[in-house]
Structure 1
C-alpha cells in the first residue's frame, strides 16, 4: 500500500520486524505447549517466562506480576469482573463516562449482577476531578477503574492523585493503560495502581495478546476455567508466538521511549501547524487537554463538516484516519467520550482522530494536512 498515509496508529500499529522475527520460530519449529514437560514444552515455557520478565522490566516490577491475556478487552474484563466475583458480585464500583467500552460494558454487566456503579463526569478537557472520586467512595466500594489515557482524545487522567485517594480509602484501583503503554513512562513501584491493562498491537506487537499487571494485594476470580495456566488465573494454552512478539515489542519500546515521545510530539505539532497555515481561523478546534495528553494522538473537530464524509474522502485520497475508537467505528452513535466532555453536536459529529507512530514521516504529515485542508475547504 506504498502511497497510503496511515494515521490511525491508536487503532493498530504495524508489527515491528524484530518482533515478527522473534515470533516466527514459535510458529514453525518450536511449537511445543508450555505445559508439556518434555524439551519442546520447556523451550516454550522459557520463551513465555522471558517475555513475562521483559514486560515486568518495562513496568519496573517482577514478571510474576504479569498475567497474559488475549488483549486489552480481556484484561479490563478480568480486572473488573474478576474482582467483582471475589466480592460476590455485591458492593460498589467507581468509573467515568469516558472509559473504553471494554470497561463501560463490563460495568454494565456488573449492574446486571447487582453491583452498583457510579459513573463520574469529566470536565471539558476530558479529565475527572480527583475530589469527585473521593466523594464518590462508599463503605462498600471495592474498585475504582479509571483509564490512564483516553484512546480518542489522548487526555491523561490524574492517576497518581486518584491512586493515592484509593489507597487511603483501602479501595483497589484499576487503570486501562492500553493507549498509554509505550508512550508514557510507567513505573509500577511508584504508581499507586493495583491492576493495569495492556495490549500488544498498540506498540508494534501482534494482535490477540495483552497483559494485566496484578498487584500483590489483589485476588482475582478467573473468568475462564480449565487448566492451571497463569497461576490459576487464566486457563488455556498460552499464545506463545503472540506473547514472544509482545515481549519483543515491549523491550524495543522501553529502550527508545524518550526518543519516541519527542518524535511523536514533533509530528503532532507539525500537523497542527500545517492545518493552522492552510485553514482559516476557526475552521477547526482541538479536543482534549492542552498539556496533560499523549504525544501521538490529535483529535480535531471541523465544525460544519461531517466526520463520516471527511473520512470517506480521505480514504479515497489514501489517508487513513478515524472518528473515534476502532472498536466502535462501525457504530452510527456519536462519540460517548466527546459527548461526556460536554461538546456540542456539531463538534462531536465533525471530530477526526489522527494518530502517529515512529514509522510516520514528516512528509506524510505535510501531505495529509494538505489533503485534509482541501476537503474541509471544499
Structure 2
C-alpha cells in the first residue's frame, strides 16, 4: 500500500461515514416528498443538519447544504456581493487575502470581470498570515463605505497557516461589513465555532473530514441575506435550490460527529506525527525550508497535519513523481492550467521568487496516518530528492546552453 500524504486534497472515508452512507444509499428518497419515505429522508437530513451545526458551533438553521466547498465559496462570495451592492451601488469592492483557494479567488475575479466588482488582494507576511494593517488601511477614511464584503480563509490549504479570523471580523464589524471565511481546511482539524467567530458566512466540505466527495455546507448567519446563485425549488432557506443528497448528507454528519468527538486527541496525535515528519525532512535534506508558521514557535497558527517545504534547485513536480514511484503520495500544492505548471500564488504572495516556489512539496497527514507512514516517507526522501535535484539542475543547464547558442 502506498503512503498517503495528501489528506489536504481529500481524506479517506471514516468508518462512521462509510456505515452511514452505505445504510442510506439502500433506502434513499427525495427529502421534499410528502409520503412516508420522503418524510423519513427529511428527518435524516434535519438530524444531520443538527449534528453538523453542533460540530461547528452553529444553529441548525444556519446550515445550508451544498455540493462542496467550491459551491459554498461561490454562493457566499457572489451572493453577498450582489446583496450588498444591490442595497448600495457604492459597495463594489471585495477585500480578499492574496492566498485564497481558487474557489474564492476565481469567484472574485469573475465578479470583477462580469459584475463590476473591484478586487483588493490583501497582502500576507512571510508565513502566509494576512496583514491586518493592510485590511485596516482599506477600511479607513471612508473606504469601508465602498466594501461589499471581506473574505479571508480560516487556514491556508497549501502552507497550513491559520489566519487571525477574530481580528479580521473585529475590524470589519466596526463598519457593518460581512466577513466570509473558507474553513474547508480548518473544520475537523482545529476548533471552529461559527457563532463565536462572528462570521457572516463560512464554507466547509465533507471530504476533508472523512465524509464523501460531493457534500458540503455554507454556514450562513440567520440574519444574513444573500442573492442565490442557483434557482429552482427554493430548498435551503431559498438560498440553494436543488434536491438534497440525503445519503451524502448523512455520511457528512457521521464524519463531522466523529471528527468533533476526537478533535483534541487526533489533533495532538497528528501534530506529533507532523513534527516528526518535519524533523525527518530537515535531517534528510538540510537545505529544505519549511514554509508557513513554525509549529515550534507558534503551534496555534499552523494546521496540525500540514508540513510544507521548498527544496532548492529541485522541481516540485519531479520530486512528486519520484516519491510516487517510491510509494509516497504527496502534492506540490501548485496550480496547473491547460497542462502548464505554474508556481503557487500562495508562495509568491509570501515573497518567494518563482524558482524557489517551483520547488514546493506539501505533505499532509490525516486520520489514517501512522508513525510507520512517516518512517517510510523519511527513508524514501533522500534518494528521490537527489534524483529530482539532479534532473532539475540538468534542465537548468540545458536552458542556459540553449539561450547561449541563440544569443
- Structure 2 partner of 1:93: 94
Of residues 183, 202, 207 in structure 2, which corresponds to 1:201?
Answer: 207
Give 1:191 deviation, angstroms. Answer: 1.0
- Structure 1 partner of 2:3: 5
Distance 2:336 2:28 in 1: 31
Residues 11 and 326 in structure 1, CA contact (< 8 A), matched pair in contact too: no
Give 1:40 deviation, angstroms. Answer: 0.3
Distance 1:365 1:294 in 2: 17
What CA RMSD, in Å, does the superposition of the two structures yield over aligned residues? Answer: 1.5
TM-score (norm 2): 0.89
Of residues 30, 34, 44 in structure 1, which corresponds to 2:31?
Answer: 34
Give 1:367 deviation, angstroms. Answer: 1.0
Distance 2:379 2:335 in 1: 24
Of residues 80, 84, 87 in structure 1, which corresponds to 2:81?
Answer: 84
Distance 2:109 2:353 in 1: 26
- Structure 1 partner of 2:391: none
Q: What secondary structure does 2:195 align onto?
A: coil
Residues 11 and 325 in structure 1, CA contact (< 8 A), matched pair in contact too: no
- Structure 2 partner of 1:14: 12
Of residues 318, 325, 337 in structure 1, which corresponds to 2:346?
Answer: 337
- Structure 2 partner of 1:149: 155
Distance 1:115 1:260 in 2: 41
When Rg is computed on C-alpha atoms for both structures, the one with the higher figure is: 2
Give 1:88 deviation, angstroms. Answer: 4.2
- Structure 2 partner of 1:190: 196
Distance 1:122 1:77 in 2: 23
Q: What secondary structure does 1:224 align onto?
A: coil
Of residues 278, 301, 305 in structure 2, which corresponds to 1:296?
Answer: 305
Q: How does 1:1-378 map to 2 (within 5 A)?
A: 3-28=1-26, 30-88=27-85, 90=89, 91-112=92-113, 113-137=115-139, 138=143, 139-279=145-285, 281=286, 283-290=287-294, 291=298, 292-324=301-333, 331-378=340-387
Instruction: Assess, with a 3 A threshold, how the Cα gap between structure 1 residues 330 and 297 changes in structure 2: closer, same or farther.
Output: farther
Instruction: Assess, with a 3 A threshold, how the Cα gap between structure 1 residues 222 and 77 changes in structure 2: closer, same or farther.
Output: same
Structure 2 unmatched ranges of 5 or more: 388-407
Distance 1:244 1:328 in 2: 34
Give 1:284 deviation, angstroms. Answer: 0.4
Residues 154 and 288 in structure 1, CA contact (< 8 A), matched pair in contact too: yes
Q: What secondary structure does 2:17 align onto?
A: helix
Aligned length: 373
Residues 160 and 192 in structure 1, CA contact (< 8 A), matched pair in contact too: yes
Structure 1 unmatched ranges of 5 or more: none
Instruction: Assess, with a 3 A threshold, how the Cα gap between structure 1 residues 242 and 332 changes in structure 2: closer, same or farther.
Output: same
